[in-house]
């Protein structure tokens, strides 16, 4: 009935995840549903502020997107500042940015001090697939002044000196971003939450939620949990658990592969740097040398509303890698996998409440892992301290995702953006 981790580099190298199944009737202040980073950070934040918390996960801790993604941690949102200013105003946009930066710093601290090896490596490159030398330097200076970022522009010479490909026409270097082993990091947060007093159960899906009485009752296969509030953090795997949130959630799939060891070829023909790399397209590629001395590359990308068959993932992602590094055509693929992320139609995180008993912290597709910590802290402060920071995000609401037509519209959007980006690349 319950699923173990998908076969991936992360599941092959993670620490054990030994948590019991929820059984019997229990009562608690708050029940968090979902054992990914959004749920774990929410539960940890609540417990640190004195709340009694139960967290339940349908499969294994970190089983979904939290344990399958590219491992990139950086600040920022999936929408630009002009969109945010139009929607919530400049001051609120800056307040949202501060929440995001505080979360990024908290993730860095937790990962750097983790008892579990999270393979932390600092630095990220955004490779420009078309020439942005006329605009990027000024834009990065402006961002540094306005948001306190530390971006550095790399011209084509410096970029191609370190990255042995003609694909990148320059780059943005972000020293404050980093990458790590996301599944081990998730398991480290679970460990911190357990030490803080959170009762964690896995292989324990929420089957039914009744929030019509004075308490919320969550039914699992072997028990019931009564709580004053619940927090839904199920991401793209929510299915029909809570209709109002389910209907606002669009599952989008992304894909990852890991190559065989490259040996000396890694430094000689790919890169002499350890940074993570992403490009500026909507449907971008992201990759990084794996920091375990194996000289392997982890390469991910593509976003589709309709999942690709598992046996096709490696070849599809291989083509993406060869477009940037065609000389790796003889390199074998060791493993490949996919995972679902949750998107809202407004492409912002979904953080807020449906009523005083039912809260949500989800929809982090395209925002990176720091945003899940931000959401967890926002919800924890709201439920323990009365903070109203969540209202910054609740402004965006829970718009209907379109049922079966939603994925069709999303796929059409991605195809349109893909064609626009291809034109920019062709134009140079």
User: What are the pLDDT digits (tens) for 371-385?
Assistant: 999 999 999 999 999
334's CB contacts (< 8 A; 6+ apart) are: 9, 257, 258, 259, 260, 296
Q: What are phi and psi of 225, to 5 degrees?
A: -125, 120
* For residue 243, pLDDT beyond 60: yes
- Say how far apart CA 99 and CA 94 lie, in whole Å: 9
Give, for 392, the enclosing helix (H) or strand (E): helix 391-394
- Say how far apart CA 383 and CA 352 lie, in whole Å: 11
* For residue 78, pLDDT beyond 90: no
Angle between helices 182-195 and 90-112 (to 10 degrees): 90
- Return the CATH number at 406: 3.50.50.60
Banded model confidence at residue 403, pLDDT cuts 50, 70, 90: low
- Say how far apart CA 133 and CA 282 lie, in whole Å: 20
Handedness of CA 160, 255, 32, 111 (dihedral sign): negative
Token pair for 241: 């658990």
| pLDDT score at 404 | 64
| pLDDT score at 166 | 96
| pLDDT score at 48 | 98
Entry pTM: 0.94
371 assigned to some structural domain: yes
Give, for 87, the enclosing helix (H) or strand (E): helix 81-88
Q: Tell me how crowded residue 24 is: count the other CB atoms within 10 A of its CB.
A: 9
121 assigned to some structural domain: yes
115 assigned to some structural domain: yes
125's CB contacts (< 8 A; 6+ apart) are: 154, 159, 163, 171, 172, 173, 174, 273, 275, 276, 277, 278
* For residue 405, pLDDT beyond 70: no
* For residue 140, pLDDT beyond 60: yes
Banded model confidence at residue 281, pLDDT cuts 50, 70, 90: confident
- Say how far apart CA 237 and CA 245 lie, in whole Å: 11
Q: Mean pLDDT over residues 337-347, rounded?
A: 91
Is-contact 26 201, C-beta < 8 A?
no
306 assigned to some structural domain: yes
Token pair for 73: 């941690």
Domain count, the chain: 1
Handedness of CA 134, 138, 139, 144 (dihedral sign): positive
Average pLDDT, the chain: 93
Give, for 231, the enclosing helix (H) or strand (E): strand 223-232
Give me the domain span that covers residue 371: 9-427
273's CB contacts (< 8 A; 6+ apart) are: 123, 125, 162, 163
Task: Count Cβ neighbours within 10 Å for each residue of 205-220 and write b for 16 or more, e otherwise.
Answer: bbeebebeeebbbbeb
375 assigned to some structural domain: yes
* For residue 302, pLDDT beyond 90: no
193 assigned to some structural domain: yes
| pLDDT score at 305 | 76
1 assigned to some structural domain: no
CA distances from 131 to 127, 287, 335, 338, 424 (A): 10, 21, 33, 31, 9
Apex CA 384: angle with CA 381 and CA 389, to 5°?
A: 30
Banded model confidence at residue 208, pLDDT cuts 50, 70, 90: very high
2 assigned to some structural domain: no
* For residue 337, pLDDT beyond 90: yes
pLDDT in tens, 18-51: 899 999 999 999 999 999 999 999 999 999 999 9
* For residue 127, pLDDT beyond 90: yes
* For residue 278, pLDDT beyond 90: yes
- Say how far apart CA 270 and CA 263 lie, in whole Å: 11
Is-contact 380 42, C-beta < 8 A?
yes
| pLDDT score at 412 | 76
Token pair for 267: 């430094």
Is-contact 126 171, C-beta < 8 A?
yes
Percent of the chain at pLDDT exceeding 70: 98
CA dihedral 144, 107, 365, 141 (to 10 degrees): 10
């Amino acid at each position: 009935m319950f699923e173990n981790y998908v076969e991936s580099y992360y599941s092959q190298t993670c620490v054990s995840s030994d948590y019991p199944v929820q059984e019997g009737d229990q009562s608690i202040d708050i029940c968090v549903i979902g054992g990914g980073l959004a749920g774990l950070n929410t539960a940890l934040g609540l417990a640190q502020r004195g709340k009694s918390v139960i967290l339940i996960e349908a499969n294994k801790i970190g089983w979904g997107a939290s344990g399958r993604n590219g491992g990139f941690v950086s600040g920022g949102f999936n929408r630009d500042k002009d969109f945010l200013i139009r929607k919530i105003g400049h001051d609120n946009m800056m307040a949202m940015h501060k929440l995001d930066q505080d979360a990024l710093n908290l993730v860095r601290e937790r990962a750097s001090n983790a008892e579990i090896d999270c393979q932390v490596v600092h630095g990220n490159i955004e490779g420009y697939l078309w020439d942005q030398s006329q605009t990027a330097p000024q834009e990065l200076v402006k961002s540094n002044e306005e948001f306190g970022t530390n971006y550095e522009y790399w011209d084509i010479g410096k970029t191609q000196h370190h990255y042995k490909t003609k694909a990148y026409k320059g780059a943005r270097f972000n020293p404050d971003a980093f990458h790590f082993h996301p599944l081990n990091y998730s398991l480290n947060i679970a460990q911190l939450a357990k030490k803080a007093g959170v009762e964690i159960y896995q292989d324990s899906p929420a089957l039914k939620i009744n929030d019509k009485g004075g308490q919320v009752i969550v039914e699992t296969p072997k028990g019931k949990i009564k709580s004053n509030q619940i927090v839904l953090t199920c991401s793209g795997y929510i299915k029909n658990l809570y209709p109002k949130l389910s209907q606002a959630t669009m599952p989008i799939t992304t894909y990852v592969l890991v190559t065989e060891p490259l040996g000396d070829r890694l430094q000689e023909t790919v890169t002499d740097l350890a940074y993570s790399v992403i490009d500026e397209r909507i449907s971008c590629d992201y990759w990084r040398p794996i920091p375990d001395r194996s000289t392997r590359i982890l390469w991910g990308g593509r976003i589709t509303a309709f999942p690709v068959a598992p046996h096709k993932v490696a070849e599809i992602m291989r083509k993406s890698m060869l477009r940037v590094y065609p000389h790796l055509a003889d390199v074998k693929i060791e493993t490949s996998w996919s995972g679902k992320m949750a998107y809202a139609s407004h492409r912002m995180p979904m953080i807020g409440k449906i009523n005083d008993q039912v809260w949500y912290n989800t929809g982090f597709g395209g925002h990176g892992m720091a945003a899940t910590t931000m959401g967890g802290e926002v919800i924890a402060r709201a439920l323990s301290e009365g903070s109203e920071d969540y209202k910054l995000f609740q402004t965006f609401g829970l718009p209907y995702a379109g049922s079966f037509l939603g994925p069709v519209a999303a796929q059409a959007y991605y195809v349109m953006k893909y064609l626009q980006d291809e034109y920019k690349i062709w134009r140079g």
